[in-house]
Chains A and B, each alone.
Chain A
Amino acid sequence: AQTVTQSQPEMSVQEAETVTLSCTYDTSESDYYLFWYKQPPSRQMILVIRQEAYKQQNATENRFSVNFQKAAKSFSLKISDSQLGDAAMYFCAYRSPPNFGNEKLTFGTGTRLTIIP
């Protein structure tokens, strides 16, 4: 079974600065997907970014980028130019590829990010 570990329960960053959230995972599969989700106090889960394991290039979505290290099974999220609206719980998630017929997400325990004005 796959496991996802987020070792930082809480992080804080000054507004406009850069912060990196860590995630490691364990799997025996060679092909899979990794995601970062954001859950603000409104509790709506928002898909932030996704990475396919077969792609060497790190995914980027505006101010959000990932550092995907497949051999180390590491998947960190970097938020640049932090804004007050980035304050939320961030969850790392793992998913097997669709052709395995198992598209469920396995979530980490989350990192609460606070933005300091």
Chain B
Amino acid sequence: SAVISQKPSRDICQRGTSLTIQCQVDSQVTMMFWYRQQPGQSLTLIATANQGSEATYESGFVIDKFPISRPNLTFSTLTVSNMSPEDSSIYLCSVGTPRGQYFGPGTRLTVT
């Protein structure tokens, strides 16, 4: 398994601002993923981030709103831009391993 940390663990942000979430893994991984979990809902994939290439976004998610960086094999960031109350969710990063995907503890974002 992999040990994954996320910063911040939670934040309360004003409408119209941006927040960058960091994801750090204790080992080198090729594939990292960012998911959103809206209150009481299941997880929805935002994008897949492979080191050395552009992130691949799922339908309904765009780079201008959710820019992603993947500078090396142990780190990635997700920015939630120009936030609105509808962006209030838990954001989780995960990493792909031969056994399956392992998740970070999540970032709980509240937009007021």
- Does the CB pair A43–B106 fall under 8 Å? yes
Q: Which residue of B lies closest to A109 (CB)?
A: B42
Instruction: Look across to chain A and name the residue whose beta carbon is closest to the beta carbon of B99.
Output: A50
Instruction: Tell me if B60 counts as interface (CB < 8 A to partner A).
Output: no
Contact with A along B97-112 (1 / 0, CB 8 A): 0011111011010000
Chain A proximity of B111: nearest CB distance (Å):
18
Most buried by A among B90, B92, B100, B108: B100
With A and B bound together, what is the CA distance between A35 and B102 in angstroms?
11
B interface residues, how many (CB within 8 angstroms): 23
Residue pairs across A and B with CB atoms within 8 Å: the count is 50
Contacts of A110 in B (CB 8 A): 42
Partner of B100, one of A35, A44, A107: A35
CA distance A72 to B37 in the complex (A): 29
The answer on a CB contact under 8 Å between A104 and B103 is no
Please, how many angstroms separate the alpha-carbon atoms of A90 and B100 in the complex? 16
A91 interface residue per 8 A CB criterion: yes
Q: How large is the interface on A (under 10, 10 to 19, 20 to 34, 35 or more residues)?
A: 10 to 19
User: Does the CB pair B103–A44 fall under 8 Å?
Assistant: yes
| B55 touches A (CB below 8 Å) | no
Cα A61 to Cα B107 in complex, Å, equals: 29
- Bound Cα distance A5, B99 (Å): 23
Known: A47-B99, A47-B102. Is A91-B43 also a contact (CB below 8 A)? Answer: yes
B48: nearest residue on chain A (CB-CB)? A104
A–B pairs, 9, beta carbons within 8 Å: A33-B100, A44-B103, A44-B105, A45-B43, A47-B99, A50-B100, A104-B45, A105-B94, A105-B101
